[in-house]
Chains A and B, each alone.
Chain A
Amino acid sequence: MVVLAYAAGASLAFVSFGAPSIVVLFLPAGVTLSALVLSPRRRWPWILAAVAVTEIAVDMSHGMALRWAAGFALANTAEPLVGALLLRRFLPAEVDLRRRRDLLVFLACCVGAGPITGATIGATMLAGSLGAPWPQSFVSFWAGDATGVLTVAGTFLAWRYRPDPKPGAVRGAVSVGSAVAATVIGFWPHDVPLFYLPIPVLFALAFSRTLEVTLAAGLATTVTANLMTSTGHGPWAALQTSEQLITMSLQLFLATTILGAWILAVGVAERDSARWDTSVERAARLRLHALQVLTTDLAKAVTSEDIARAVVREGIGMIADHGSVAVVPPGGGETVLWTSPDRPGGQAPDVRSSLSVPIPGDDGQALGSLTFSFHREHSADADVVAFAETLANLTAQALRRAHVYEREHNATQQLQQALLPVLGSELDSVQVSADYRPADVAHQVGGDWYDVFTLPHGRIGFSVGDVVGHQLAAAAAMARLQSALRILAQAAPGPAQVLDELDRASSLIPDAKTTTVGYADYDPATRMLRYACAGHLPPLLVTGDGAAYLWGGRSLPLGAGTATRGQGQVVVPDDAVFVWFTDGLVERPDEQLAVNMQRLADAAGSLPGPDAATLCRHLLAHMAGDRTRTDDTVILCVQFTGAGPVTPENG
């Protein structure tokens, strides 16, 4: 291939550019140099030998004597050898002609030193064979070879070491074609100086296209300009001076133009590289910030769903155009998929590449996976993969925490539900409505309770209570106290005795100390309501005349002291509603308890003839509203229906 290219170039020199009458553009100099630079050193002898033989053959076929032909062969092998040796001495590995240093080395070794060697030998041969004056021969020999190396070897090396091996053949061809066209137009008229036309074209290419395309266009411009000149077109063809001067100044003009474009390309490459570094740095900074935001959100996320939503919202976009989070539920079951917004469903057609990483679990079993989709091909480089794995690990930590929480949450919720009574319709002399709002919304468990149950002789018992604390321990103590109270109430003569016995029992129940309890019983036969409060807030009786607190039967909380307990009693009118609650309904850090109790009474008294359920909802909404609860809240409303059949024999 080297031989063919060399022979073609050398023949072209003879045929088109008029060698050997004048020394002209010598493109094969670039071919040989490129062949040496791009080949391992052990092949160099073969390349040089082939070039020497070809040179001699071409020269002798044009009628040159063997010894002069051998001399030119020496010149044309020594020249690339010197150039290649020196270049490889300074640039042993990759030659990036977009780098300032590499360009300078290339110019000094291959455009300078090599052709100077060749020109020294060549000028001697020309002086001997044609009797040409040595200095002029030297300069024009060097100019021809140097331009050949600059254009041909420049193009080859730039092509070989191009950073982005994208084809872009059409754009390249259009670019080279436009350079050729500009040269043809520029060199057509004799008198109008249009020969500068290729300069802006080459500069524009240097600015907007890759170096290899620019240099290929430069090579095409050089060949075209020489062909035009040798066929009598352009300003150089019209010059009335020595042909050596003409050709030399033409080559220098072309070489200067190409070199100018080349230096511009180097500058553009340096600027782009600096910009790239800055943008990479900024992207890294943005990613770090986004990661911090995500970490904060993951720390706040309580459920798997919160976590997946946070990752989809803030994590995916950090590295990918779109993506999704798949989570396998801890107990097995169907995998749940969250996809980044504006892309519901599966992959869209413009996804060119994607990356999936597992969310690692403790036992080696994945908790799910993260999928990142990109609009560009091959987007998942090492950085992206590393970041994706970091994200997966963060997600895994949050998910493991959430799974523990969700297990606990489900257990406590079931426990709480099981402990609170089901308010059925089996009680026909009263209507009951109740609500329970735990302070700890996340845990849905607390130490407050309410209870309604039947007693012997048709009586009905009601209790409300508040164990100190909100967590599971409080819920356990609450459950025990509630059960103990139910059992004690069956045999005790009245509320005061029930609380007395509960007080004694509470010493055996962990975490029961200072629990406040309210207990009342109601006898439908006599409409007598008896009640007692162990430190508990007083019940509210709502009648047609308004609402009033019942302040009788007060005593200390459970486990607080030894004073005896008393009880209050009241005969309730038809459709009166008895309201009992825990402190969460009326106690607030920034509000007066007495004021809130009055508010509650006013709110209860303001409804004309309410039923239990309406009153319950109304009071909750009025007292709690949308505010965050700092304490558990229980409200129990019991309406004593007047018309119901009274069956004292029951029980």
Chain B
Amino acid sequence: MSDFETHTRRNADTLVVVLAGECDLRSRDEMTAALLDAVGSSARVAVDLAGVRFLDSSGLHALVTAHHAALERSGILYVVNATGTVETVLQITGILELLQQPAPAEDTAETGRADQRG
């Protein structure tokens, strides 16, 4: 039933976690584990939401939990490619602003932009 997939790829110093499908209660544990793994292995994690069709409060919870885990390790976790309903949900809840990509003035600008196009 659960229509959810995750995989990671590395893009320079950024670990990109690609999520796809529905991020809801059924996939919450899988999603949380994937994000915490990524945060544990990289100080800079981008969550690519291009393939996510649905994101409810369970998905938000997973993102916020991973965000806090990254902060504790002095790392950073941000989301890219949120569109449609997913973008609306992130906007309404304020999470999009919380998890926005760091300003492109830093040396990581190129990889970040690449992610956004992908």
Contact = CB atoms under 8 A, between A and B. Distances in A.
B52 to A, nearest CB: 11
B64 A589 contact: no
Interface string B45-56: 000000001101
B85 A535 contact: no
Interface in B57-81: 57-58, 60-61, 64-65, 67
Interface in A506-538: 513-514, 516, 535-538
A568 interface: no
Contacts of B94: 535, 554-557, 560-561, 563
A589 B54 contact: yes
Contacts of A470: 25
A473 to B, nearest CB: 12
Nearest to A595: B85
A334 B59 CA distance: 47
Interface size class of A (residues with CB under 8 A): 20 to 34
20 contacts: A469-B25, A470-B25, A513-B64, A514-B61, A536-B93, A554-B94, A556-B98, A557-B64, A557-B93, A560-B67, A560-B94, A583-B56, A587-B54, A587-B56, A587-B85, A589-B53, A590-B53, A590-B54, A592-B88, A631-B24
B85 A516 contact: no
A559 interface: yes
Contacts of A587: 54, 56, 85, 89
Contacts of B24: 589, 630-631
Contacts of B104: none
B23 to A, nearest CB: 10
Nearest to A514: B61
Contact of A537 (B22, B60, B92, B95): B92
A575 interface: no
Interface size class of B (residues with CB under 8 A): 20 to 34
Contacts of A594: 85, 88
A555 B97 CA distance: 10
B53 A557 contact: no
B84 interface: yes
B64 A559 contact: yes
Contacts, number: 79
A428 B22 CA distance: 45
Contact of A469 (B58, B64, B88, B92): B58
Contacts of A513: 61, 64-65
Contact of B85 (A556, A563, A593): A593
A257 B61 CA distance: 94
A466 B88 contact: no
A593 B10 CA distance: 32
Interface string B20-33: 00101100100000
Contact of B22 (A556, A563, A589, A591): A589
Interface string A570-590: 000000000000010001111
Given A468-B58, A514-B57, A514-B60, A556 B95 contact: yes
Nearest to A554: B94
Given A470-B25, A560-B64, A630-B24, A535 B92 contact: yes
A593 B89 contact: yes
Contacts of B25: 469-470, 631
Contacts of B56: 583, 587, 631
Residue of A537, A538, A593 with most chain B CB atoms under a 10 A cut-off: A593
A535 B53 contact: no
Given A589-B24, A631-B56, A557 B95 contact: yes
A557 B95 CA distance: 8
Given A560-B94, A583-B56, A587-B54, 16 more contacts: A468-B58, A513-B61, A516-B57, A535-B60, A535-B95, A537-B92, A555-B94, A557-B64, A561-B94, A587-B85, A591-B85, A592-B85, A592-B88, A593-B88, A631-B24, A631-B57
